[in-house]
Amino acid sequence: MQTSYFAKYKGINAVSIALSTPKWYQNCRKYKKLAPSWELLNKYKQDKDEIYYTVKYYKEVLSKLDPQQVYEELGEDAVLLCWEKSSEFCHRFLIASWLEKRLGIEVNEID
């Protein structure tokens, strides 16, 4: 499993984990279970508080999911995509860390 962002990765294993997907990328799979709420996303855009976002994202999203089930549903070849560039704070990095810690796997960002 890997991560990237819409503008960079256009391969067949793309899985959107964002609330919305670019119109030009509509054929990729979507896995909304990992998307943050609009409320949380908008609060982050306003405050840029990464600690608050991380705590709330874990509570609202990841704590309600079984990492093994998520991994199995996505598949080991999945590339998880959202909007933010690799250099920006993003929920896909929280997901990667969560999967790595809970399952002992590596989830790398595509360079």
How many structural domains does the chain have? 1
What pLDDT digit, counting tens, does each position of 32-83 carry?
999 999 999 999 999 999 999 999 999 999 999 999 999 999 999 999 999 9
Cα gap 16→29, rounded to integer Å: 6
- pLDDT tier at 97, thresholds 50, 70, 90: very high
Structure tokens, 71: 């991994």
User: CA of 16: how far to CAs of 20, 23, 29, 84, 104, in Å?
Assistant: 8, 12, 6, 12, 23
Burial class (CB in 10 A: 0-12, 13-18, 19+), 9: middle
Q: Which domain holds residue 59?
A: 2-109
